[in-house]
Structure 1
């Protein structure tokens, strides 16, 4: 069995995720994400747009970087700092 998958299955709190602190966990809960497992299969751009709508304000683009990092992590990517996704976000979503 892949030890990475086992360790992800043991994550219970949102703050157990890489790059997620109290504020990020609050944003995820606002989106209806209650556990790290809830991020599997989620689209980070959709989460970002929903968060902007729910808060009534455009979130900083680095929030999308964080969402990209945690969704990739829960899909099996190695943990990376959120800024490792900045270049990809700028390439995919140049208008942000």
Structure 2
């Protein structure tokens, strides 16, 4: 969903989350995440690594930005576009 349209107390399904449409919801389900609450405490970098292993392909790094956005949202941050996290992801990956 477009982050500008997200209403926190109305988030019930994965597609109610910021930046999550049908395709990303399917990716989350592949990771065993069926509800937004299951994102609490998840490590977005580990999620990205798992989705790559499970599918046998390297996903676009923007998928990591999406994972960061939804885990942060569920931890209490305001909804933000996934691109907000791109620079943070780039910095984090250069430090590994």
Q: Report the TM-score, using the length of structure 1 for normalisation.
A: 0.88
* Residues paired across the two proteins, number: 89
Q: State the Cα distance separating 1:8 from its structure 2 match.
A: 4.1
Q: State the Cα distance separating 1:10 from its structure 2 match.
A: 4.4
Aligned residue number for residue 53 of structure 1 = 53
Alignment partners' CA distance in 2, 1:94 and 1:16: 32
Structure 2, gaps ≥5 residues long: 1-6
The reply to whether residue 34 of structure 1 matches residue 34 of structure 2 is: yes
- Do 2:31 and 2:51's aligned partners in 1 also have CA atoms closer than 8 Å? yes
Equivalent residues in 2 for 1:1-96, closer than 5 Å = 8=8, 10-94=10-94
- Do 1:9 and 1:37's aligned partners in 2 also have CA atoms closer than 8 Å? no
Q: Report the TM-score, using the length of structure 2 for normalisation.
A: 0.88
Runs of 4+ in 1 over 3 A off after TM superposition: 7-10
Alignment partners' CA distance in 2, 1:8 and 1:44: 20
Alignment partners' CA distance in 2, 1:94 and 1:9: 36
- Do 2:27 and 2:51's aligned partners in 1 also have CA atoms closer than 8 Å? yes
Alignment partners' CA distance in 2, 1:9 and 1:61: 29
